[in-house]
């Protein structure tokens, strides 16, 4: 039977800046979801990439005395490096300066034009290059010296030029209907309410071309105009799915996208403009847009001017890759804002990873290695306690699926850690070390049951911490093709007599070094 398809995307990141923890966070969340789905038997397409056009990038390149393409190649390379470094399993990396994307964008434009959704007029109003967004007078806030600022705090400039417009105002009813679709098209619910009241407040047509700079995709048939960078950027999701070849297997299989994952800053572009563009072009809108929260650093907003930008490369070097992956996914309810603190990171590493999971695996597997001739022991008759812990492991997946289907990633991790904690309780309660001479057969059974639950925990944590989980499964000698969710429960039970490798600690404790030395 053909596998069900699943298509997930990250925002494509601007190349005006090098990657920071916020970018790593969004892509990590998508990686975790993509891996979960693959383990669960789906044919997944996971897309990330870079957004390389527009005035902001053009200005950043000029500030560095580089031509825009050369500048884009360099910074885009850093984002690809980050993906490798953080073990992201993206299947494609799109750059908006690629030819496939130019073709796709221009095709989308034509489709919007042919369907009567684009007209030529004159734009006069406020524009923020930093946000690459237009603002109405009543949205602006006062800055220092009476200067007007965008609601995001970005500088705005007055723009007056000929421009193409998209008839956004015609799509309000369809958007409001789309927000009511079940399963939810916009999550969290608070974000859906936000866009829905924005739409109810009245939509103005959107200026979608500029004539005052050149770094972008020309409007087909009028190359004095460059497409508004957000049309260009959003269309990347279609390009990677094979658009404009809508009859291709790829497009039919993967479109509409299952999840566009974004930060809350770019919700409006994804949950208002994008579905409107698509509906207007006669293309199905995505199944879901999820907007996650914002990270601060030790309680403060992360910004270049405050000099507190967190470099993902540096924290992974210091704390370890899977440790950082675990922390980011566990620490904050997904969708809410979160605070990055060293203290919280170290607490998670030492308590959840080193103590709870690390010790459980190390103690049980070392006992097997020493006392059971390096082999998975025989499992005797099961007591109610043995059965209870096995049933918990065997039946957890249904619960996790439900949580992951609404992107409750941190709840998912918590539920897995409840199993870790229950298994620790079981191991401590059965105290197999007291049975070595008094009842070696019972000791063997307790160790078998514990190792079997550790096997399932390793599979269940592999979408969060792929390397560490693989080490645990290697130690248990579980075949590489027996590490999917279809191996959870009784089907994948460890085979008594299987040799195991000498266990080595997978989650070291973090010891704070004297940072002055
Ligand atoms: O907006 N906390 O690109 P961008 C959490 N090119 N996430 C954060 C974050 C933080 N402090 N800072 C950034 C763009 N992010 C456009 C997108 S998509 C068609 C075009 C993450 O480089 C978050 O996902 O400014 C946010 O939405 C994204 O980076 C913005 O990246």
Distance of alpha carbon 60 from alpha carbon 74, whole angstroms: 12
Per the DSSP assignment, residues forming a β-bridge with 44 are 6
Nearest CA to ligand 1 atom 24: 263
- State residue 50 phi and psi, 5-degree precision: -130, 145
Q: In the prediction, which pLDDT does 514 show?
A: 62
Q: Is 277 in the pocket of ligand 1 (CB under 6 A)?
A: no
Q: Over 80: is that where the pLDDT of 304 sits? A: no
Q: Over 90: is that where the pLDDT of 2 sits? A: no
**Which residue in the block uniquely carries the two structure tokens 């924290």?**
315
Q: In the prediction, which pLDDT does 16 show?
A: 85
Distance of alpha carbon 173 from alpha carbon 175, whole angstroms: 5
The pLDDT > 90 percentage for the chain reads 92
Q: Is 302 in the pocket of ligand 1 (CB under 6 A)?
A: yes
Q: How far is CA 299 from CA 295, 342, 345, 456, in A?
A: 9, 12, 14, 37
**Which residue in the block uniquely carries the two structure tokens 């300066």?**
97
Q: Is 310 in the pocket of ligand 1 (CB under 6 A)?
A: no
**pLDDT band at 286; cut points 50, 70, 90:** very high
Q: Over 90: is that where the pLDDT of 516 sits? A: no
Q: What is the DSSP letter of 373?
A: T
> Which one, of 129, 158, 161, 135, lies nearest residue 60 by Cα?
129
How far is the centre of ligand 1, averaged over its atoms, from the C-alpha of 109 (Å)? 25
Dihedral of CA atoms 16, 19, 20, 24 in degrees, nearest 10, equals 130
**Which residue in the block uniquely carries the two structure tokens 């602006």?**
140
Q: Over 50: is that where the pLDDT of 131 sits? A: yes
Q: Is 233 in the pocket of ligand 1 (CB under 6 A)?
A: yes
How far is the centre of ligand 1, averaged over its atoms, from the C-alpha of 13 (Å)? 6
- Residue 483's contacts (CB-CB under 8 Å, 6 or more residues apart) are 39, 459, 462, 470, 473
Distance of alpha carbon 487 from alpha carbon 473, whole angstroms: 12
Whole-structure pTM value: 0.96
Specify the length of the chain in residues: 517
**Which residue in the block uniquely carries the two structure tokens 């093709």?**
481
- Average pLDDT value for the chain: 96
Are the beta carbons of 133 and 157 closer than 8 angstroms?
no
Q: Over 80: is that where the pLDDT of 34 sits? A: yes
**Which residue in the block uniquely carries the two structure tokens 């105009």?**
225
Distance of alpha carbon 182 from alpha carbon 322, whole angstroms: 35
Summarize pLDDT for 439-496 with one digit per residue, the tens.
Answer: 999 999 999 999 999 999 999 999 999 999 999 999 999 999 999 999 999 999 999 9
Nearest CA to ligand 1 atom 4: 13
Per the DSSP assignment, residues forming a β-bridge with 43 are 5
Handedness of CA 208, 99, 281, 3 (dihedral sign): negative
Summarize pLDDT for 427-450 with one digit per residue, the tens.
Answer: 999 999 999 999 999 999 999 999
Distance of alpha carbon 310 from alpha carbon 415, whole angstroms: 29
Q: Over 80: is that where the pLDDT of 128 sits? A: yes
Q: Provide the residue ranges of all domains of the chain, joining segments of one domain with +.
A: 350-492
- What does the block give as tokens for 284? 């199905």
Are the beta carbons of 197 and 67 closer than 8 angstroms?
no
How far is the centre of ligand 1, averaged over its atoms, from the C-alpha of 361 (Å)? 38
Handedness of CA 212, 218, 223, 225 (dihedral sign): negative
Distance of alpha carbon 348 from alpha carbon 269, whole angstroms: 35
350-492 belongs to CATH 3.40.50.300: no
For the chain, helix, strand, coil in percent to 5 are 50, 15, 30
């Amino acid at each position: 039977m053909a596998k069900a398809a699943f298509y997930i995307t990250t925002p494509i990141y601007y190349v005006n800046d090098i990657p920071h923890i916020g970018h790593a966070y969004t892509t990590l969340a998508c990686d975790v979801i993509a891996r979960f789905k693959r383990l669960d038997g789906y044919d997944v397409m996971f897309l990330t990439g870079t957004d390389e056009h527009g005035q902001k990038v053009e200005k950043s390149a000029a500030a560095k005395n580089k031509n825009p393409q050369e500048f884009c190649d360099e910074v885009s390379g850093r984002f690809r490096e980050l993906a490798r470094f953080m073990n992201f399993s993206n299947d494609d990396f799109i750059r908006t300066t690629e030819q496939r994307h130019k073709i796709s964008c221009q095709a989308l434009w034509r489709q919007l034009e042919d369907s009567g959704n684009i007209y030529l007029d004159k734009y006069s109003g406020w524009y923020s290059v930093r946000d690459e967004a237009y603002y109405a007078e009543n949205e602006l806030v006062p800055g220092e010296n009476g200067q007007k600022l965008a609601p995001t705090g970005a500088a705005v400039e007055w723009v007056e030029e000929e421009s193409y417009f998209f008839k956004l105002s015609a799509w309000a009813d369809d958007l409001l209907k789309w927000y009511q679709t079940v399963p939810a098209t916009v999550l969290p619910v608070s974000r859906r309410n936000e866009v829905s009241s924005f739409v109810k407040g009245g939509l103005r047509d959107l200026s979608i071309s500029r004539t005052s700079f050149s770094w972008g995709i020309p409007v087909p048939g009028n190359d004095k105009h460059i497409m508004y960078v957000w049309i260009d950027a959003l269309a990347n999701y279609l390009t990677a799915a094979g658009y404009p070849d809508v009859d291709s297997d790829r497009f039919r299989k993967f479109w509409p996208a299952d999840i566009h994952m974004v930060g809350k800053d770019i919700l409006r572009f994804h949950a208002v403009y994008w579905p409107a563009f698509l509906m207007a072009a006669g293309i199905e809108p995505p199944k879901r847009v999820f907007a996650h929260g914002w990270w601060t650093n030790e309680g403060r907003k992360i910004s270049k001017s405050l000099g507190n930008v967190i470099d993902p490369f540096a924290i992974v070097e210091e704390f370890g890759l899977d440790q950082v992956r675990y922390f980011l996914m566990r620490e904050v309810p997904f969708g809410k804002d979160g605070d990055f603190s060293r203290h919280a990171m170290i607490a998670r590493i030492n308590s959840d990873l080193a103590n709870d999971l690390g010790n459980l695996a190390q103690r049980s597997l070392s006992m097997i290695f020493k006392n059971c001739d390096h082999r998975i022991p025989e499992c005797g008759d099961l007591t109610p306690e043995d059965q209870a812990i096995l049933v918990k492991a065997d039946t957890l997946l249904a619960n996790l699926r439900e949580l992951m289907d609404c992107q409750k990633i941190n709840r998912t991790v918590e539920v897995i850690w409840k199993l870790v904690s229950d298994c620790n309780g079981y191991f401590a309660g059965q105290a197999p070390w007291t049975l070595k001479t008094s009842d070696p057969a019972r000791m063997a059974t307790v160790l078998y049951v514990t190792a079997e639950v550790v096997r399932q925990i390793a599979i269940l944590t592999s979408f969060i911490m792929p390397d560490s989980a693989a080490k645990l499964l290697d130690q248990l000698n579980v075949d590489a093709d027996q590490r999917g969710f279809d191996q959870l429960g009784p089907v994948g039970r460890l085979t008594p007599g299987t040799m195991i490798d000498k266990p080595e600690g997978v989650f070291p404790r973090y010891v704070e070094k004297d940072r002055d030395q």
